Structure formats: structure tokens, C-alpha cells
Amino acid sequence: MREIRNRQMALVTLDNIYLSYSDAPLFDHASLAIEEKDRIAIVGRNGAGKSTLLKIIEGLIKPDDGRCIVQQGVRIARLEQDPPAHLDLPVYCYVAEGIPGIGSLLSRYYILINAADGSDTSAELAEISCALDRDEGWHYDTEIYRLLNLVGLAPETMMSSLSGGWLRKVALARALVSSPDLLLLDEPTNHIDIKSIIWLQDFIASFRGAVVFISHDRSFINEVASRIADVDRGRISVFEGNYDAYVQAKQEALRLEEIANADFDRRLSIEEAWIRKGIKARLTRSDSRVRRLKEMRREHKERRARLGNVRMRIDDKEMSGKIVLEAENLCFNNGEKDIIRDFSTIVLRGDKIGVVGANGVGKTTLIKMILGQLQPTSGRLKLGSNLKIAYFDQYREQLDPEKTVMDNLAHGKSEVDVAGRKQHVLGYLQDFLFSPQRSRTPVKALSGGEKNRLLLARIFLHPCNILILDEPTNDLDIDTLDLLEELLANYQATLIVVSHDRYFIDNVATDTWYFDGSGKIFENVGGYTDLKETLSRMELSNAGERKTGGAEPVKKQEPAQPPRERKRKLSFKEARELEQLPQEIENTDARIQEIEGIFVGADYGTSSEDYRKEIQQEYNSLTEKLEQLYQRWEELEKINNA
């Protein structure tokens, strides 16, 4: 029986850990405590050390210095990031083998008891049964069946038949079968659909132990996390609350850090000026002040600047025709069933369409028909005039894994053409956070996030007026996602994006196409939240009609064809900008009034010409800025209140 633990003691404590693989340590004397029932989301830039942190907690990696203290008796389990997809093995056996030692016996017993070849296995079965009796292993058999029932899988289902979402569920059952006190999840929402993500949210809410997870899915973090562990430049900073609370707290922390750095730099410059005074200063120099200066120099040298942001831009100057795409009674049958059935729509220039639905319902099939890679079984699909299509492939098949990052982008050339201007390929790749050394690395050595950034760098290199993105958000860190959202929100041409990231769809899409799994595609104005509200209203309406014994529920009429009124939503960054604009306007106006006071002051006429010129230039610049701030505020307010 598991011992009763002291509730005051953390399950796992990382105490002042240090780990380095290069000049800049991944963890520079960082600390973290994981308590019972914690729900901690680990966030940070790609390469910051998030996955390494999970491995330290699990005990797979030992820090160079500091301690990882695990409370006695604590069981830790980890959800595999990429469960094996082609195993010729029943899911019962895969889950059983997650139990150290005894799991292989349970797996073998299951195989033997279900063998259909007629061979006599009674002796081996008896031997295994005795071993399970001796080691009290049968309760694990009961637990395996309970967990498989929980995730909705029959024990005999073969691993090779499962899609990505089901693979994640069976991997979760494998992680849970040993009744862990702490569950570690590395990107649990990658490559699974929204229905599976919501199932996982509900499961974590009911899980009795603690959960520590890495995710870039902001909706998922908001629903699940009670604390955020931010991994940044070797430090681990813990913020209470969900993702929205973290964003505000992180902004304030960065603001205070900037103020502290500016104050430190000012004091350092004073000390540097003092030490350089020469012979006259030597009489007044003190050893303690010299030592303090040396310490300040060391501290300044060791200060780690934040990694720069990706600088993305799309050349969308060449306009397409007004009608970009027109579908009429579009159907596609794969030989077994209708994947797409009787879909009619018109896409206009400037539309931003989010495509959502479960895995395998036909989203990528529709994209392939638009790209001309598949032909419809029936119906008509007509593309507009002067289209320049850029396509982001979720499987990254456009990248050659054997070639370097540079060669995948420039094909051996030293320069690329960016919006009509020549730029060195290394300079362009630095905009996407690839150092010169990393730019010469083969693509097969890149992380998932790096491959996605490279693919974005490739497609944004060429002018386009219709951008098709198939699962672009997988593996991208949150900062890059924010910037991609801002770029797409300001993109003037047409966008079609397939994504399971609800936060991303809300911030980017003006319309949503929902695949319901029957072949029908439902169109709705707005993002994922708007779609969810519409579907909820329809479900309530249909339930009411069934309750009153009415006729067959009438489906909501499809939105009328264009011209359609488009609802433009504020992006995440625009919403933050709107919050900050009133204070910025107030500060700018205050400085203008201050300068106007200088103009009428008695000393202004006797001041130097350079000073008067400088103050006049500042005044002109501020008045122009104030006008622009008011215009921007009115523009964002209009969108927000639409």
C-alpha cells in the first residue's frame, strides 16, 4: 500500500539546477516546485529547454549542478510525444507494456489467451498466471480494461489501424496504467482534432494527480493550467493563473526588466567614466569601487538578451480577381463514401477562411482539389483570375531532408529576391531566427518548429494573393504564433487555413468552414467561438423540436452567397494595442503641452539655436504622432465595436 505522504512537501523540487550544452546554459541555477494536483503549463521559445525540463523531472537527464528532489514513493509517467503508428500489436498489449516488469507478462497472457491458431498453450498460460498471482498483477489487468473503456477503444484494436487522435488516447492510457502521481505531457494537442483536444481537457480536469505539460495551444492552456512555468534565458519564472493572466504578468515583468537594465547601464556608464579620468582620479580611487566596477562589467557581459522575434512579411501587392474561388454542388467520393457532398460557396478577394473538423473528414481533400491535385467526383470548382497560390504543407513534403536550410530556400544561390529587392540568403534566414551556423544544417536535423519556420520562409519568399495553410501552428512557439496571427490579420489577399488551434482561428478567420463528418460543410461567419455558439443554438433548437414532437429538424439555411458582410475581428496583438493606446495618447499629449510651456518660457529665446531646433523637431514629430495615434485608436475601436 502506498505510504501517506506529507502534504506540505512538493512532489518534485528542482533546486538551483544548472545545465549547459554550449556557452549559454539551458538552465542557469533555476528552481521549480511541483505540488499535488498542480496543472503547470511550460511555455517558452523553441529551443529554450522545455522538453529538456520534462526529462530532468522524469530523471532521464541529470543537471550539471543543483538537485532534482523527488518525494519518496512518487510515481511519474510521461505521455509519448509521437506514439508509434504502425505497430502490429493490440492496444491492450501496448498499454500493458507501460507497466515495468509485470507488463510484459500481461501482454503475453493476452496474446496467448486470444490466439486463434489452435496450439496448446495451457502450460505457458498456467506459468504466467502463477507469476501474476505471486506479483499481484491481476489488478493491472482490470485497470487496463478500465482505461481502454475510458478512452473508447476495444482491447483487440490494432495499433496500426489508429489515427493520430486515437494514438494519443491509447498512449495516455499507457502512461496512466501505473497510477502515476505526476503526469508529464509533451505537446499533447499536436496533430489531434478539436474534439480530441476537448476530451483531453476534460480528462485532465478529472485526473487526481499533478500534471505538467508543454503546449503552444493557448486555448488548451487557458482551459487546463493553474500555473505557467516560463522558460526564458536559463531561468524558470512561475506565474499564477491561466494563459491570459500570464500574458499580462509577463509583459509587466519584461517592462520592469527593461527599466532595471536601463538603470544598471546608466550606473555602469558613470563608473566607466570615473575609472577613465586618469591621473587626477587615482588619488580618489578606492579598491572597493574598482572591485564593484569589475563585478558590474561581469554582470553586464553575462546578461542574456531576449531572442529576437521572427520578422515575417508577405508580398501581396498583385491583386487577384474579385471572385477567387467558386464551388457548385462539389462532391468527392473515395470509393467507399462521400468525403465532400454538395458543397457550394463563393470565396471573395480578402476572405480569411478557417477550416475546422475532426481528423479524416476531408479538410485536406478539399485543399488538394483547390490546388488541382485531386479532381471532384461531381460538381464544379472554378478558380478566379490572376491567382498566385502559396501553400503550406502540414507534412513538410516540400522540404528536402538531405539538403541544408540554405539550399532548401535558395537552391544553391547566395541571394534571394524579397519583395523585389535582393537580400543575402543568410540575412533573410536570420529574420526567421536561423543563425548562419544553423542555416548550413541539414533539414533532417531540425526540430519541428524550425522546419515550420523554414517552410514559412519559403512560401513568404514569393508573391502570392491566395495563401493556403494546412496546420501551420504545430510546433511553433507562442511568440511566433502571435506574430503569424498579426501578419495574417493584416494580409490584404485571400487566406484559407486548416487548423485545430481554436485561439488561432478566432484571431485570424472572418469565416469558418466546419466539416461535420457526414460529407457536409457548414459555413459560418466569424472564428471558432462564433461557430461553437451557432452550433450550440442549432442543437438547442433541434432538441426543442424533437421534444415537442415536431417534424424532422430543419437545418439552418446556409448563408446567402455574396455579397456577404464580413465581420473583421481584432487580432490578439491588436486587442493589446487597443488597451495601451489611451495611455500612449495621454503621455504624448502631456509631452506636447510640456514643450508648448517651454516655447512661451522666458529662457527659450536665449537658449542655443541647436536646442531650439531640437525641441521644435520633437514638437513636430509628437504632433504628427498624436494624430496617427488618434486615427489608429478610432480604427481599432470601429473594428472592436462592429
Average pLDDT, the chain: 82
pLDDT (0 to 100) of residue 462:
79
pLDDT (0 to 100) of residue 553:
43
| Euclidean distance between CA atoms 284 and 239, whole angstroms | 46
In sign, the C-alpha dihedral spanning 477, 356, 247, 457 is positive
Question: Whole-angstrom distance between the N-terminal and C-terminal Cα of the chain?
Answer: 61
Does residue 477 have a pLDDT over 60?
yes
Query: What beta strand segments (E) does 133-259 contain?
Result: 182-186, 210-214, 227-232, 235-240
| Euclidean distance between CA atoms 478 and 232, whole angstroms | 13
| Euclidean distance between CA atoms 150 and 458, whole angstroms | 43
* Residue type present at position 76: I
pLDDT (0 to 100) of residue 580:
83
DSSP per residue over 611-625, as a string?
Answer: HHHHHHHHHHHHHHH
pLDDT (0 to 100) of residue 573:
66
Q: Which three cell numbers stand for residue 271?
A: 563608473
| Euclidean distance between CA atoms 414 and 424, whole angstroms | 6
Please state the rounded mean pLDDT for residues 570-579. 71
**Residues 383-414: tens digit of each pLDDT:** 988 888 888 876 666 788 888 988 888 888 88
Cβ-contact 399, 454 below 8 angstroms: yes
pLDDT (0 to 100) of residue 395:
61
Does residue 518 have a pLDDT over 60?
yes
Helix (H, G, I), strand (E, B) or coil at 258: helix
Percent with pLDDT over 70 in the chain: 87
Q: Which three cell numbers stand for residue 553?
A: 429538424
DSSP 8-state symbol, 442: B
Instruction: List the domain boundaries for the chain.
Output: 1-75+180-241, 88-176, 246-302, 322-388+463-568, 406-460, 572-640
**Residues 424-475: tens digit of each pLDDT:** 888 888 888 788 888 888 888 887 778 888 888 888 887 888 989 888 887 7
Query: What beta strand segments (E) does 490-641 contain?
Result: 494-498, 511-515, 521-525
In the CATH scheme, what architecture does the domain 1-75+180-241 have?
3-Layer(aba) Sandwich (3.40)
Does residue 287 have a pLDDT over 80?
no
pLDDT (0 to 100) of residue 521:
93
Closest CA to 166 of 222, 94, 215: 94
Q: How confident is the model at residue 377 (pLDDT cuts 50, 70, 90)?
A: very high
pLDDT (0 to 100) of residue 560:
40
Residue of 116 and 585 predicted with greater confidence: 585
Does residue 288 have a pLDDT over 80?
no
Q: How confident is the model at residue 2 (pLDDT cuts 50, 70, 90)?
A: very low
| Euclidean distance between CA atoms 237 and 43, whole angstroms | 10
| Euclidean distance between CA atoms 372 and 188, whole angstroms | 33
In the CATH scheme, what architecture does the domain 572-640 have?
Orthogonal Bundle (1.10)
Helix (H, G, I), strand (E, B) or coil at 375: coil
Q: Which helix (H) or strand (E) holds 261?
A: helix 243-275
Cβ-contact 476, 502 below 8 angstroms: no
Closest CA to 326 of 379, 399, 405, 268: 379
Please state the rounded mean pLDDT for residues 518-538. 90
Count of C-beta atoms within a 10 Å radius of residue 190: 20
Sheet holding 338-348, edge to edge: 338-348, 323-333, 378-383
Q: Which residues contact 627 (CB under 8 A, 6 or more apart)?
A: none
Topology agreement, domain 322-388+463-568 and domain 572-640:
no
Per-residue b or e along 490-523, where b marks 16 or more CB atoms closer than 10 Å to that residue's CB? ebebbbbbbbbbbbbbbbbbbbbbbbeeebbbbb
Residue of 239 and 572 predicted with greater confidence: 239
Closest CA to 453 of 473, 437, 470, 424: 473
pLDDT (0 to 100) of residue 240:
93
**Residues 163-201: tens digit of each pLDDT:** 777 888 888 888 888 889 999 998 888 777 888 888 889
Task: Say which CATH class 322-388+463-568 falls into.
Answer: alpha beta
Cis previous bond, 559, omega within 30: no
Residue of 81 and 586 predicted with greater confidence: 586
Q: How far is CA 85 from CA 88, 159, 453, in A?
A: 9, 7, 25
**Residues 341-364: tens digit of each pLDDT:** 999 999 998 899 999 998 878 898
pLDDT (0 to 100) of residue 7:
42
Does residue 485 have a pLDDT over 50?
yes
Cβ-contact 429, 448 below 8 angstroms: no
Q: Which of 62-66, 292-296, 531-535, 551-555 has the lowest mean pLDDT?
A: 551-555
Query: What beta strand segments (E) does 44-188 contain?
Result: 65-70, 76-79, 182-186
Q: Which of 10-24, 398-412, 559-573 has the lowest mean pLDDT?
A: 559-573
| Euclidean distance between CA atoms 597 and 146, whole angstroms | 77
Q: How confident is the model at residue 566 (pLDDT cuts 50, 70, 90)?
A: very low
